[in-house]
Amino acid sequence: MRILHLDAGREMRGGQWQVLRLIEGLAGAGVESTLLARTGAPLAVAARERGWRVEPLGFARAVLLARRHDLIHAHDARSHTLGAIVRGAPLVVARRVAFPIGSRWKYARARHYLAVSEFVKRVLMAGGVPEQKISVVYDGVPVLEPSAGTRVLALANFDDPQKGAPLAMEAARLAGVELLLTQHLERDLPQAASFVYITHAEGLGSAALLAMSAAVPVIASRVGGLPEVVRDRETGLLVKNAPAAVAAALVQLAGDPAFARRMGQAARRAVIENFTVGHMVRRTMEVYHEVLS
């Protein structure tokens, strides 16, 4: 099986990490992949460094390579548009975002959709995509060593208006705790005692999963697909997007280390059972086989 992956991302966000992990997992299963990505984009650089086949993203190249591959897998909105125009192989689309769909024409072109959560599946169905054309494939993350840190982490995502770094900072101020803002979550997780993931819209939340894999309890917004991975008071705490609510959760975790530790351990088990890279690769391959059968 040969898969042509399309990704137009300029940054290395959660979706790009999933593409990188998927290509690596597919290679382990004997599946050949070619990635079309922006020249110089972090995903293109990282994939090339790992020895994967990478070529510049563009219409002419996509048309040529589509004929040489069994299936096209578009991983973001821009590459979805490109894949909808290109002919030569069936198109599957990874849908990771929570906002309503736009072009009905574009969404009618794909053979199948990989929704990152049940929430995103419902968004697709509300936009007119038939249920039989949608499969839920959760993100997969590596299972990290359990953290023994003492810091409270949050993402430094000030460039994304849908994310809630300012709200997390205000909540930390109210709770009287120091917040470590990170742009390198996996690197900084060994310092973490808890992870604050506040967002106004979320398809799933792979950053929350990564923290959970390190046995770090997560304080997460009760929005989008996050309740599918963060079970309130079992693997983390779900909160309203209000500084007082987030602050109360921070105080609760700081004041009850045994409770926080139990949730962190349960969170790590949940990742191992349901959200590893292996799970994600197997489910994706099942969709590929279904589309090609």
pLDDT at 102: 79
CATH topology classification for 2-139+276-292:
Rossmann fold (3.40.50)
Enumerate long-range contacts of 117-122, CB under 8 Å, 24 or more apart: 117/203, 117/204, 117/224, 117/225, 117/228, 118/225, 118/228, 119/203, 119/204, 119/224, 119/225, 119/228, 120/95, 120/96, 120/203, 120/204, 120/224, 120/225
Domains 2-139+276-292 and 151-274 share a fold: yes
pLDDT at 104: 80
pLDDT per residue as tens digits for the range 12-62? 988 999 999 999 999 999 999 999 999 999 999 999 999 999 999 999 999
Q: How confident is the model at residue 269 (pLDDT cuts 50, 70, 90)?
A: very high
Question: Residues of the chain with pLDDT > 70: what percent?
Answer: 98
What residue segments make up the domains of the chain, in order of their start? 2-139+276-292, 151-274
d(CA 77, CA 208): 23
pLDDT per residue as tens digits for the range 86-136? 988 999 999 999 888 877 888 999 999 999 999 999 999 999 999 999 999
pLDDT at 158: 65
pTM of the prediction? 0.92
pLDDT per residue as tens digits for the range 201-232? 899 999 999 999 999 999 999 999 999 999 99
Q: How confident is the model at residue 161 (pLDDT cuts 50, 70, 90)?
A: low
pLDDT at 124: 96
Mean pLDDT of the chain: 94
pLDDT at 164: 81
CB of 88 closer than 8 Å to CB of 63 = yes
pLDDT at 92: 98
Domain 151-274 class, CATH top level: alpha beta
Question: Residues of the chain with pLDDT > 90: what percent?
Answer: 90
